Amino acid sequence: MKNILVIGGAGYIGSHIADLLCEREYNVLIYDNLVNGFKENLNPESTFIFGDITDVNELEKVFLEYSIDSIIHMAALKSVEGSSKNSSEYSFNNIIGSINVISLAIKYNVSKFIFSSTAAVYGAPSVDIVDENCHSKPINHYGFTKHYVEKYLSWISSIQDIKFVIFRYFNAAGYSTKKGLISKKESSPDNLLPIVMEVANNSRPELKIFGDNYPTKDGTCIRDYIHVLDLADAHIRAINFLDSNNSEIINLSTGFGYSVLDVVKIAREITNKEIKYKISSRRDGDPASLIANSQKARRLLKWTPQYSIQEIIESMWLLYR
C-alpha cells in the first residue's frame, strides 16, 4: 500500500481526509502537534506521529523511517483575526513550517504534494463568482501566508522534481456521520457554523454578526459552504490525478452563496431552536462576498460536490445537539 503523509491530519478537515484514505486502503501517516487536532477523531487504521512542522529535525525522522508516496499538507494556524494580532507566529508556522515540509519532500523524492490553501488568497474580488484566474490579493495576514506558500510551490516546482495540487478551500463545514469517528470538536471555534451550533445548543448565549451594512442582499457577508466530505473526496482524486498530470491550482466549492442571515434561518429550521444574534462592527479582512466557480475541479478531477447547505447543518446538529 502507498504511504500517504497527512500533515495536520488530526485537525477537523484532516481527520475526515485520513478516514477516507483509510477506507480506500492507503497506508495513512498522521503528523500533527495537536494544537487544533484530536487523536480521538482519527481512524484507528492510521498511524499517528506527534510533531510540529517548525521542528525540521523531528519532521525529517518521518521521512527517514517511511517511504512516502504523497503528502497532503494541511497544518496551519487559521484565524483571520488572530493572524493580524500574531503575525510573526503565523508567518513562522504557516510559511517557514510549510517550506520545511516542501524542502523535505524534495530531498526524499516525494513527487506528489497536495497543499491546503484558502479562498482568502483572493482578498476582496471585484467579480461575483471567483475562478482560479482571478487576481490574488489577500486582505488579511492568514491569506497572505497561504498565498506566499502557493508562490513558493509554483517556483520550486519549476526547478525541482515535485508536482502539486493547490486546493483553495471555500468555507468547509459539516461532519461525517460515520459512527464513532468524530468524538471531539473545537472548543473555541472561529467559524460561523460551529458558533451557530453552539448558540442552538445553549452553550453560547448568542451569535455575534460582524457587520450588517455590506453591499449584499441583507447586509451580511456571503460565503460558499462546502461539506468536509466533499473536500476529502477531492484530495483522494488529486493524488490519482498527479500520477499522470501536471500541477494545478483548483477551487473547492459548491458555487452557491449564503449570507450569515441565510445560515441563521436555515439553522433555525433544522434545529427548531432560536438562534439569538447581535450585530457588531465589521472585522478587518472580511470581504463582502466569496463565491467560487468550481468547474475546474469538476473537469479535471471528475469531482462533484454531493452535499447541500441543509445537509451540512444537519450533520453538524447531530454532533452538537
Selected catalytic residue, list 12, 142, 225, 307 = 142
φ/ψ of residue 25, rounded to 5: 70, 35
Element (H, E) at 2: none
Distance CA 71, CA 89 (A): 24
Question: Beta strand 112-118 with 70-73: parallel, antiparallel or unpaired?
Answer: parallel
Residues 96/54, Cβ–Cβ less than 8 Å: yes
Q: In what order do the strands lie in the sheet with 3-7?
A: 47-50, 27-32, 3-7, 70-73, 112-118, 163-169, 248-252
Q: Catalytic residue at 142?
A: yes
Q: What would the grid cell of residue 318 be?
A: 447531530
Contacts of 290 (CB under 8 A, 6+ apart): 119, 122, 125, 130, 170, 171, 222, 223, 224, 257
CB atoms within 10 A of CB 308: 14
Which residues are part of the catalytic machinery?
142
